[in-house]
Amino acid sequence: MSPQSHPHGTSDSTREVDVADALVTDLERLSVEFATTAARFIRDERPTRVRVADTKSTDTDVVTIMDRESESLLRRLILAARPDDAILGEEGSDVPGTSGLTWIIDPIDGTVNYLYDIPAYAVSVAVAVGDAHTEGAWRAIAGAVGDPCRGLVHHARRGGGAWTRREGRGGAEPARRLAVSAEDSLGRSLLATGFGYAAEVRSRQAEVLRRVLPQVRDIRRIGSAALDLVRVADASVDAYAESGINAWDLAAGWLIVEEAGGVVVGVGEHPGKALTVAAGPGLVAQVRALFTQP
């Protein structure tokens, strides 16, 4: 499959690799394998007391030892299977490649939940074409979100639908195909969102929610962007909107939502740091309008 032939379309900036159907299928398989392996690792090897290794943007933006160990595990798995591919990881795995494909990985999405042993964290693994370092210049063609607390892995490939299966079951149990909610009324919609780490960002987001909350059914704050996007894909929430989202938070979940029949946008066509909105086709424009009005 060529990425430019997909009905969602791609920008010229992502048309750097002509990816065959067989390769995309294999990349999806590898994404599931790697996400599942890392998800089991962070769950089964989680120490009784999780140690904070460092902080990033603020004192509340933590990195645990397990974040780094999970990313190291993913890097080893990817390079063993696909040594010519590039890697972009949240915790610094920036490996150049020659194939035109980039693995975009988040070793623990929902680190604060993980730190406090709140069962809502994930591993996100995706393969993209284009320039993964430039917002709007890449698109995922295969990806998976490992959901260790529920023992699930959610996955998709471009043009192949979005699916959920029990981890490690292989063909023993049929995968369940995902489909976004058909809800098109803002007032009946359950909206997932999240908050930044910096105090001034949270203050702005709180002001936005004062306007948003009276116009929707309710708000959910799960604490993992990857799981929020999966929940849009499986219709357990109707929509998701958040600012401050990076490529590694977004890559696999974006693809899963689109392959479940949803739409993912930002302030413009591409989601990103300024805004990421995901919902069914009948709701996405309404949600974006809520978060972009002055």
Does 24 have pLDDT greater than 70? yes
Q: Which among 69, 71, 106, 228 is annotated as catalytic?
A: 106
What does the alpha-carbon distance between residue 93 and residue 74 come to, in Å, rounded to a whole number?
A: 9
Both tokens of 21, joined, read 């159907």
Q: How confident is the model at residue 16 (pLDDT cuts 50, 70, 90)?
A: very low
Q: How confident is the model at residue 234 (pLDDT cuts 50, 70, 90)?
A: very high
Q: Which among 111, 164, 193, 276 is annotated as catalytic?
A: 111
Q: CA-based diameter of the chain, in Å?
A: 52
Q: Which among 42, 104, 105, 108 is annotated as catalytic?
A: 108
- Give the strand order in the sheet containing 101-109: 94-95, 86-89, 101-109, 122-130, 138-147, 152-157, 162-166, 176-177
Q: What percentage of residues in the chain have a pLDDT greater than 70? A: 88
Radius of gyration of the chain (CA): 18
Q: Do domains 3-177 and 186-292 have the same CATH topology?
A: no
Q: Which among 69, 71, 90, 234 is annotated as catalytic?
A: 90
Nearest to 230 by CA among 260, 188, 195: 260
Q: Is 249 an active-site residue?
A: yes
Does 40 have pLDDT greater than 50? yes
Q: Is 111 an active-site residue?
A: yes
Mean pLDDT of the chain: 88
Q: Is 109 an active-site residue?
A: yes
Q: Is the pTM of this model over 0.85?
A: yes
Does 128 have pLDDT greater than 50? yes
pLDDT of residue 19: 79
What does the alpha-carbon distance between residue 38 and residue 82 come to, in Å, rounded to a whole number?
A: 17
What does the alpha-carbon distance between residue 257 and residue 175 come to, in Å, rounded to a whole number?
A: 16
Domain 3-177, CATH number (from 3.30.540.10, 3.40.50.300, 3.40.50.80, 3.40.50.2300): 3.30.540.10
Q: Which among 69, 109, 147, 242 is annotated as catalytic?
A: 109
Supply the CATH classification number for the domain 186-292: 3.40.190.80
Q: Is 258 an active-site residue?
A: no
- Domain ranges for the chain, please list them: 3-177, 186-292
